[in-house]
């Protein structure tokens, strides 16, 4: 099979069929351009039983919708948001959610297992197990227990992990690491069965984490961007560190996992990029040992990049690319009419699977600022869905918005919000799923 023409060097070539195992690529917490998947929360002062129950049932429905979407899209790795049960580890939440939502949790877990999906959870940077502050430590334990209870309530096995950073240094890294060690040893078995540790960008580099992982038998997640920001003194390649981390994953832990992200060139050092650049991703992947780990992407465009990376490493046929094109087309049109035409040409040959070429064209188009002409053209294409069914008021309103946009008195975002509202009012599934509105 061919991915792209001769202009694609070997090192960018995907590795279809070269793996012993089908690796999984996934995204964290929220699915973009998937209606009904937003996770809601509230301020702690408003968190009474009624409000919390409302949020929990909403959020579980959203989670189920995301799991459905993942299954339909063939995304087999997914991180569940810690906000799914708001204030779960705080005394303000006394809702017995495990029993009240037992059936729903069970159903979601069944779907996850049936789809062969692997889920994880990742308490934030404020869950600090090795803190010298007893209250912080206590909070961390309750937070970890909540995560373990949630995954237990889904009835998913111990390959579905909880990812944690080691914590703070407090002026003495050795002592702080020891405190992590004995506190880990005392944790509830429900937590220890799932806990894995990750290198961070400030305190504990991959060598520190590996040393803890080895002595405590905790699997280690390698994060490439944290590693770039906080490398150990030892000079070694990412591939070697990934291989070293792999040794910490025992049979019952499931396949090794890593976190992968790219730096946003326009932002502060260490900031996650808007999207994953496909060629750079393939270059990185091809540098890793042949047996690939599961890869959790940390990137702004979430599921969109996950699908991109999956389709660039797994031949799912031209139909999968055509489906993606359906989501991208108006967004591409907005940025570049030339790229729009090129991609249409590219996808005409149904015998090919030009995944990398497709995404390269998309990335190239999206990297350029849309000019007013292209943006107007794209908006009019979308308006085409409504121009015959809209009311007189809606027609007037849209025409007015377009006039105002053309003279610069209204933002493009405003125009798009208005079009999205129409897609909701006259339900147009196809448009509601479009990346045009992301």
Residue with Cβ nearer DNA (177 or 206):
177
For DNA, the closer CB: 7 or 45:
45
Contact 78, 34 (CB under 8 A): no
- Size of the chain in residues: 438
Min CB(411)–DNA separation in Å: 6
Closer to DNA by CB, 127 or 313: give it: 127
Question: What are 25's strand-pairing partners?
Answer: 295
Question: At closest approach, how far in Å is the CB of 328 from DNA?
Answer: 21
Report, in Å, the least distance between residue 229 CB and DNA.
9
Q: What is the DSSP string of 243-301?
A: HHHHTT--GGG-S-EEEE--B-TTSSTTPBPSS--HHHHHHHHHHS-SSPPEEEE--TT
Q: Quote the least distance from Cβ 39 to DNA, whole Å.
A: 6
Q: Which of 312, 298, 262, 303 is nearest to 12 (CA)?
A: 312
- Which CB sits closer to DNA, 239 or 421? 421
Nearby residues of 155 by Cβ (< 8 Å), 6 or more positions away: 106, 109, 110, 113
Closest among 240, 248, 282 to 12, alpha carbons compared: 282
Backbone angles phi and psi of 198, in degrees to 5: -125, 145
Least separation in angstroms between CB 268 and DNA:
5
Identify which of residues 298 and 314 has a Cβ nearer to DNA in the complex.
298
| Three-state secondary-structure class, residue 190 | helix
Binding site for DNA (CB under 7 A): 29-30, 38-46, 90, 124-128, 131-133, 135-136, 139, 167-170, 202-203, 268, 270-272, 298, 300, 411, 413-414, 417-418
Minimal distance, residue 298 CB to DNA, in Å:
7
- Distances in Å between the Cα of 119 and the Cα atoms of 5, 109, 232, 292, 416 are 36, 10, 29, 18, 33
Three-state DSSP at 85 gives coil
Q: C-beta of 371: minimal distance to DNA in Å?
A: 20
Nearer to DNA, 23 or 31 (CB): 31
Q: How far apart are CA 304 and CA 325, in angstroms?
A: 12
Nearer to DNA, 222 or 340 (CB): 222
Q: Is 349 helix (H, G, I), strand (E, B) or coil?
A: coil
Shortest Å distance, C-beta 175 to DNA: 12
H helix count then E strand count, the chain: 18, 8
For residue 101, what is the DSSP state?
Answer: T
Of 131 and 230, nearer to DNA (C-beta) is: 131
The residue among 32 and 243 lying less far from DNA, judged by its C-beta, is 32
Which CB, 38 or 236, lies closer to DNA?
Answer: 38
Whole-angstrom Cα distance, residue 260 to residue 257?
Answer: 10
Shortest spacing between CB 431 and DNA, in angstroms: 18
Q: How far apart are CA 242 and CA 252, in angstroms?
A: 19
- Report d(CA 277, CA 260) in Å as an integer: 12
* CB of 373 vs DNA, minimal distance in Å: 22
Which run of H or E residues covers position 388?
A: none
Q: Which is nearer to DNA, 127 or 262 (CB)?
A: 127
| Ramachandran assignment for 225, one of left (phi > 0), alpha (psi -120 to 50 degrees), beta (any other) | alpha
> Cβ 428 to DNA, closest distance in Å?
19
| Structure token digits, residue 417 | 């919000």
Report which DSSP code applies to 167.
-
């Amino acid at each position: 099979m061919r991915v792209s023409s001769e202009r694609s060097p070997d090192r960018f070539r995907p590795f279809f069929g070269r793996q012993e195992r089908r690796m999984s690529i996934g995204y964290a917490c929220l699915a973009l351009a998937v209606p009904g998947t937003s996770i809601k929360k509230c301020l702690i002062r408003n968190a009474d039983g009624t409000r919390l129950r409302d949020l929990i049932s909403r959020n579980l429905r959203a989670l189920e919708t995301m799991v459905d979407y993942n299954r339909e899209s063939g995304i087999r790795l997914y991180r569940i948001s810690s906000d799914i049960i708001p204030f779960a580890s705080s005394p303000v939440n006394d809702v017995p959610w495990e029993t009240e939502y037992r059936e729903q949790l069970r159903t979601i877990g069944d779907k996850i297992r049936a789809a062969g999906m692997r889920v994880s959870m990742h308490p934030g940077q404020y869950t600090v197990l090795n803190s010298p502050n007893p209250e912080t430590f206590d909070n961390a334990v309750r937070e970890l227990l909540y995560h373990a209870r949630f995954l237990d309530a889904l009835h998913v096995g111990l390959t579905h992990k909880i990812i944690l950073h080691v914590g703070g240094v407090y002026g003495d890294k050795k002592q702080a690491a020891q405190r992590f060690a004995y506190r880990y040893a005392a944790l509830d078995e429900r937590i220890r069965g799932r806990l894995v540790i990750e290198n961070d960008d400030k305190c504990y580099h991959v060598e520190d984490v590996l040393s803890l992982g080895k002595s405590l038998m905790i699997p280690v997640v390698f994060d490439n961007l944290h590693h770039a920001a906080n490398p150990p003194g030892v000079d070694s390649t990412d591939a070697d560190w990934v291989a070293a981390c792999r040794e910490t994953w025992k049979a019952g832990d499931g396949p090794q996992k890593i976190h992968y992200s790219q730096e946003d060139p326009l932002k502060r050092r260490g900031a996650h990029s808007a999207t994953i650049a496909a060629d750079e991703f393939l270059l990185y992947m091809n540098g890793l040992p042949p047996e690939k780990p599961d890869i959790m992407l940390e990137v702004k465009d979430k599921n969109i990049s996950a699908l991109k990376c999956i389709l660039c490493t797994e031949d799912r046929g031209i139909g999968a690319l055509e489906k993606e094109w359906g989501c991208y087309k108006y967004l591409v049109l907005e940025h570049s009419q030339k790229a729009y035409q090129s991609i249409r040409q590219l996808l005409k040959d149904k015998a090919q699977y030009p995944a990398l070429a497709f995404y390269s064209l998309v990335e190239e188009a999206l990297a350029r600022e849309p000019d007013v002409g292209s943006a107007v053209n794209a908006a009019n294409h979308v308006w085409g869905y409504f121009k015959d069914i809209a009311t007189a008021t809606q027609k007037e309103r849209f025409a007015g918005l377009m006039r105002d946009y053309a003279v610069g008195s209204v933002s493009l975002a405003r125009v798009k919000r208005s079009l999205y509202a129409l897609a909701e009012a006259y339900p147009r599934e196809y448009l509601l799923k479009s990346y045009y509105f992301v």
